Amino acid sequence: MYPTGPAPGLAQNSPASKSWDRMGCREEVHLHYGLSLRGSLGIGSRIPTYIKTSLGRWQILVSNTTLWDLEPHTKAKHDLLVRYLNAWFPVLSRYRGRIVFLDGFAGPGVYNTGEPGSPRLALETLLNHSHLMNMSHCEFLFIFNEHHPKRFASLESVVADVENDLQLPNNIKVVTSQNNFSILAEDLLGSLRGKNLAPTFAFLDPFGYKDVPMALIRDLLAFDKCELFIYFDFNSVLRFSTAGNVDEHFEQLFGTDEFKHAPPSGDPRRGEFLRELYERQLTDFCGFPYVQSFQMVNRRGKTGNYLFFCTRSVKGLSVMKEAMWKVDPSGGYKFSDLLHGQTVLFEPEVDTSPLQHELASVFRGQCLSIEDIEEYVVVYTPYCKSHVKRKTLAEMQRRNQISSPNQRTRNTYPPGTLVQFN
Ligand SMILES: C[S@@+](CC[C@H](N)C(=O)[O-])C[C@H]1O[C@@H](n2cnc3c(N)ncnc32)[C@H](O)[C@@H]1O
């Protein structure tokens, strides 16, 4: 039985995979997870959040509402998720026997006016993928966890609809779970018994700051092929970090009590201190060397939350940065509900002059491969890999700031091209 045995299909190449294969069908696995439910989550104790939706209605967000309106910033979050998964599925499935998408706060799977939620988007991204046939050697496990009973019921029916509409191939499994995320994560960890989690993309998208303990995230995603895309409730942290009334929750959220040393309310350095502390904890405490944040600005022009993407792979970082530039073509890593819907006549042309300047001064006199330059840009600058060749190096070559000893055609940089910075 699950609480004492290994989690189905999670450990890489472990006996668990066999037990998963034997079980085979979703209903059994779901029952399995249902039985592992321990205790219940007291979301009733939360202070309700009233929001004015884009359709002009007031809504209590954290109550018993089963569905709610899709806000523009949520749509932006979904765009990031889908763009990333579209690239992540084929990359990881090339090398791995099994990969996991864990949606720890999956929601009801659908929004008020029928737009798909994150579970449906993730599943459909794979099922409609142009390379789906080439990924048939890899097993994909989707775990959708939602604690709230009515939202969970909605999630179940959304998943059933997808399964009916789009016939799941045998290598794609879906597990639904109605658990408090922390309990689910502890159960998963316990069942691994020291083995690594299979390569996992964990999407942790709670409403607030509770139930996303940093230490648990660190332990669960310790394997180097695991990645995290997590919501950070900046607005609450900004308001309450030095209030003293929710310290217990914030200590779990941050994995430290350093938030208590934030500059006082009203001090312009307070927000950056807290954002930077959370980012540092993801890097140092959780062991993710590459962390990229994306800011969500609300209708009042204030930062509501940040999304943090965390990975140990330069390729992963590169793909997510490309997605973030698509959602915010200004390169500010920011989306604003306030500006959403404004007509933009021209997409801003990427200004690479700061990058040209930086490369010229950092690498003056050195000869580097194109791959090393791309990696430098992805890891150390706000720019993306796609900005490097035509928009940056070709410009620099035209001005004779660079040359190449092995280039066949001027202003082109195929793999292996060496670039000499003059
Ligand atoms: C922001 S919504 C998720 C939206 C969804 N990820 C999407 O993009 O469509 C957060 C969800 O987490 C659920 N939730 C809140 N606390 C939870 C917990 N501790 N464990 C699991 N689910 C929880 C809420 O009921 C809510 O449906």
Residue 416 sits in a domain of what CATH number? 1.10.10.10
Dihedral through CA 58, CA 60, CA 65, CA 69, nearest 10? Answer: 40
Final residue of a domain: which of 284, 307, 336?
336
Using the 3D structure, point to which of 290, 311, 336 is the last residue of a domain: 336
Q: Decide if pLDDT at 96 tops 80.
A: no
95 falls within a domain: yes
**Pair (66, 103) in one structural domain:** yes
Taking the centre of ligand 1 as the mean of its atom positions, its distance from the CA of residue 377, in whole angstroms, is 35
Q: Is the pLDDT of residue 18 over 70?
A: no
pLDDT the model gives residue 8: 37
- Confidence band for 349, pLDDT divided at 50, 70 and 90: confident
Do 252 and 390 lie in one domain? The reply is no
Kindly state the average pLDDT of the residues 239-266: 96
Confidence (pLDDT) at 196 = 83
Work out the average pLDDT over 55-74.
73
Residue 71 lies in a domain: yes
Q: Please check whether residue 133 is in contact with residue 93, taking contact to mean a CB–CB distance below 8 angstroms.
A: no
Task: Please indicate whether residue 71, judged by its CB atom, sits closer than 6 Å to ligand 1.
Answer: no
Task: Give me the pLDDT at residue 338, please.
Answer: 85
Whether residues 302 and 406 fall in one domain: no
Give the CATH number of the domain where residue 50 resides: 3.40.50
Residue 15 binned pLDDT confidence (cut-offs 50, 70, 90): very low
Distances, alpha carbon 316 to alpha carbons 105, 229, 326, in Å: 22, 11, 16
**Reported confidence tier of residue 38, pLDDT bands at 50, 70, 90:** very low
Whether 320 and 373 share a structural domain: no
**Nearest alpha carbon, ligand 1 atom 19:** 180
Q: What pLDDT score was predicted for residue 344?
A: 63
At residue 63, the pLDDT reads: 56
What type of residue is 147?
H
Phi, psi (5° rounding) for residue 274? -75, -40
**Judgement on whether residues 269 and 400 belong to the same structural domain of the protein:** no
Bridge partners of residue 418, in order along the sequence: 369
Distance 358 CA to ligand 1 centre (A): 42
Does 9 fall in a domain? no
Q: Which residue minimizes the CA distance to atom 9 of ligand 1?
A: 117
Indicate whether 365 and 232 sit together in one domain.
no
205 lines ligand 1 (CB under 6 A): yes
Residues 361 and 255 placed together within one structural domain of the fold: no
Are 213 and 360 found together in one domain? Answer: no
Q: How far apart are CA 358 and CA 106, in angstroms?
A: 42
Are 59 and 175 in the same domain? Answer: yes
- Same domain for 81 and 212, yes or no, is yes
- CA 395 to ligand 1 center in whole angstroms: 47
Is residue 343 domain-resident?
A: no
3-state per-residue secondary structure call for the chain: CCCCCCCCCCECCCHHHHHHHHHCCHHHHHHHHHHCCCCCCCHHHCCCCEEECCCCCEEECCCCCCCCCCCHHHHHHHHHHHHHHHHHHHHHHHHCCEEEEEECCCCCCECCCCCECHHHHHHHHHHCCCCHHHHCCCEEEEEEECCCHHHHHHHHHHHHHHHHHCCCCCCEEEEEECCCHHHHHHHHHHHHCCCCECCEEEEECCCCCCCCCHHHHHHHCCCCCCEEEEEECHHHHHHHCCCCCCHHHHHHHHCCCHHHHCCCCCCCCHHHHHHHHHHHHHHHHCCCCEEEEEEEECCCCCEEEEEEEEECCHHHHHHHHHHHHHHCCCCCCEEECCCCCCCCCCCCCCCCHHHHHHHHHHCCCCEEEHHHHHHHHHHHCCCCHHHCHHHHHHHHHHCCCEECCCCCCCCCCCCCCEEEEC
155: how many CB neighbours lie within 10 A of its CB?
Answer: 26
Which of the listed residues 336, 366, 393 is the one where a domain comes to its end?
336
pLDDT, one tens digit per residue, over 131-154 is: 999 999 999 999 999 999 999 999
180 Cα to the center of ligand 1, angstroms? 10
6 or 386, which is more confident: 386
The count of structural domains within the chain is 2
The rounded percent of the chain whose pLDDT value lies above 70 is: 83
Residue with tokens 């999407």: 203
Q: Are residues 177 and 141 in the same domain?
A: yes
Q: What is the mean pLDDT of the chain?
A: 86
Closest CA to 239 of 212, 259, 258: 259
Q: Mean of the pLDDT values across residues 186-215?
A: 93
Quote the tokens at residue 422: 């003059």
Query: Can you give the pLDDT at residue 340?
Result: 79
Cα–ligand 1 centroid distance for 106 (angstroms): 5
CB of 61 sitting under 6 A from ligand 1? no
Dmax (CA) of the chain:
68
Question: Does residue 202 lie in a domain region?
Answer: yes
Identify the pLDDT of residue 94. 85
5 located within any domain: no
Out of 191-195, 229-233, 370-374, least confident range? 191-195
Least trusted range by pLDDT, from 22-26, 45-49, 270-274, 371-375: 22-26
The answer to whether residue 4 sits within a structural domain is: no
Domain around 409: 353-421
* Per-residue pLDDT at 6: 32
Mean pLDDT check: name the lowest of 222-236, 334-348, 384-398.
Answer: 334-348
Q: What is residue 192's predicted lDDT score, i.e. its pLDDT?
A: 87
Instruction: Note whether 250 and 387 are same-domain residues.
Output: no
Q: Which of 17-21, 128-132, 295-299 has the lowest mean pLDDT?
A: 17-21
Query: What are the φ and ψ backbone dihedral angles of 305, each rounded to 5 degrees?
Result: -155, 170
Model pTM score = 0.87
Distance 152 CA to ligand 1 centre (A): 10
Whether residue 6 is contained in a domain is answered as no
Q: For ligand 1, is residue 207 a contact (CB within 6 Å)?
A: yes
Q: Looking at 19-33, 129-143, 243-257, which range is the least confident one?
A: 19-33
> Is the CB of residue 148 below 6 angstroms from any atom belonging to ligand 1?
yes
Residue 205 is encoded by which pair of tokens?
A: 């998208």
